[in-house]
Amino acid sequence: MKTWRIRLWSGFQPRSKRILFAFVGAALSTWMLYLTVSPPAVKETVQVVEASAPIAKNQKITPASLTLAPIPSSSYQSWMVRDPAQLIGKYAEVDIFPGEWVRAERVAEKQAANFQPDERVMNLPVQLANLGGMPKQGDVVDVIAYFQPPQKGAGIGHTELILQNVYIQSMVTKEGKQPPTEQQSKGKEDFVPAIVSLKVTVQDSLLLSTLIGSPDVAIRLIGRQPNSSNVQIKSPVADQLRRTGME
């Protein structure tokens, strides 16, 4: 095979060799010229939101703390935020560092509550009244309890004011979803089962735990307004339970 190749090459006439060399040289020159004048391929990019300054936990997010940064489209993930308006005005749930992509699930609509040493978060099953708008995270409510009559058919029972000025830490339906808005739930059931997380003292948590453990007690929430004030109302059952729990 080696001998055959040598003979094949030697069989070319000098003129044919010059033509072949000229053709190869022209092809190489054309390729080099193409590489020189052709613009490099441009990768598609998308703009995502990243922190331009440190954002501390529970700090309000401002336009000055965010910037848009281009990344390759192939690197884009569904959890990335592309519109700063989705984050501005909300509060960071964790510390966010400069250059870090901001995740939507790491911000909250309202500032988290500050807890005192004797305060806890208690999950409370409730029936949300489907009237006047649903309560939501960050709202302040009063807690009332309806006590059924001692004997079925003997009276109509009674309602007592249990707690006042209670902060809602979070709230989900029993399916783990956000409660529907008044517009979304219009025309549906009158009450929506939910789990609400309340900021309460240890003493209050003992009272609530006792009440929700009874099948004859129904817990409700009453929404407060900015100008609402606490009231003095006798709650005999709740007061008795408080005294018992403190003994």
Same-domain pairing of 102 and 50: yes
Same-domain pairing of 49 and 94: yes
Same-domain pairing of 183 and 153: yes
pLDDT at 67: 94
Q: What tens digit of pLDDT does each residue of 14-39 get?
A: 666 666 666 666 777 776 766 666 55
Same-domain pairing of 162 and 98: no
Q: How many distinct structural domains can be found in the chain? A: 2
The DSSP 8-state label assigned to residue 5 in this structure reads: H
* CATH code: domain of residue 58: 3.90.1210.10
- State pTM to two decimals: 0.55
Same-domain pairing of 134 and 159: yes
Q: 54, 74, 108: which is the final residue of a domain?
A: 108
Most confident of 12-16, 34-38, 48-52, 57-61: 48-52
Full residue range of the structural domain in which residue 79 is found: 45-108
pLDDT at 24: 66
Q: Is residue 200 part of a domain?
A: yes
| 222: pLDDT strictly greater than 70 | yes
Q: What tens digit of pLDDT does each residue of 131-143 get?
A: 455 677 788 899 9
Sheet holding 119-129, edge to edge: 119-129, 191-201, 158-173, 140-147, 217-223
Decide which of 173 and 75 is more confident.
75
| 186: pLDDT strictly greater than 80 | no
Q: 66, 81, 108: which is the final residue of a domain?
A: 108
Q: Residue 34 and residue 38: Cα distance in Å, rounded?
A: 6
